[in-house]
Amino acid sequence: MMFRIGQGYDVHRLVEGRELWLCGVKVEHDLGLDGHSDADVAIHALCDALLGALALGDIGKHFPDSDPRYKGIDSKILLGHVCRLIKEKGYRLGNADITIMAQRPKLAPYIGEMRDTLAKVMEVDAGQVSVKATTTERLGFEGRCEGISSSAVVLLESVS
């Protein structure tokens, strides 16, 4: 069995007048993340971890924000595309572990739906997908509610 590990990290700015999407789930909040796509920072970190595991570059290379095709795009579509690439390369997900750093809002009520949503897009069991959330004790840009960051780690295993 061949294993590959990957990690990803992303940050988006919190602004007024945008919806907040995290792990493919719409979260009720008075601010949303700014970006060319739906700015789902957690899916972007996950995509970068998956691409990184197979040294396939990063999300900016595959889906450039200069490309109008990706304007406002649902990041679940990007994740689906990345998963097809992984499959083409002869790998499947062992497990993924995502952390979201956000001072507000409380994300605990959404964690189950987030795991189920990601598992469905990735065509894996929800038991293979962990989503965690933490505040930063009011420190840094996340703590000042200026933005939300996310990191992800994945383990891929070869299918053959």
CB nearer to Mg ion: pick between 44 and 115: 44
What residues numbered 101-160 form the site for Mg ion, per CB under 5 A? none
Among 4, 6, 8, 10, binds Mg ion (CB under 5 A): 10
User: Where does this chain touch Mg ion (CB under 5 A) — which range of 37-45, 84-92, 95-103, 131-139?
Assistant: 37-45
- Closer CB to Mg ion, 10 or 53, in the complex: 10
One of 44, 70, 115, 156 touching Mg ion (CB under 5 A): 44
Residue among 99 and 126 whose Cβ is closer to Mg ion:
99
Question: Counting contacts by CB under 5 A, is residue 48 touching Mg ion?
Answer: no
Residues 6+ positions from 29 with CB-CB distance below 8 Å: 20, 104, 105
Interface with Mg ion: number of residues (CB under 5 A): 2
Q: Which residues bind Mg ion (CB under 5 A)?
A: 10, 44
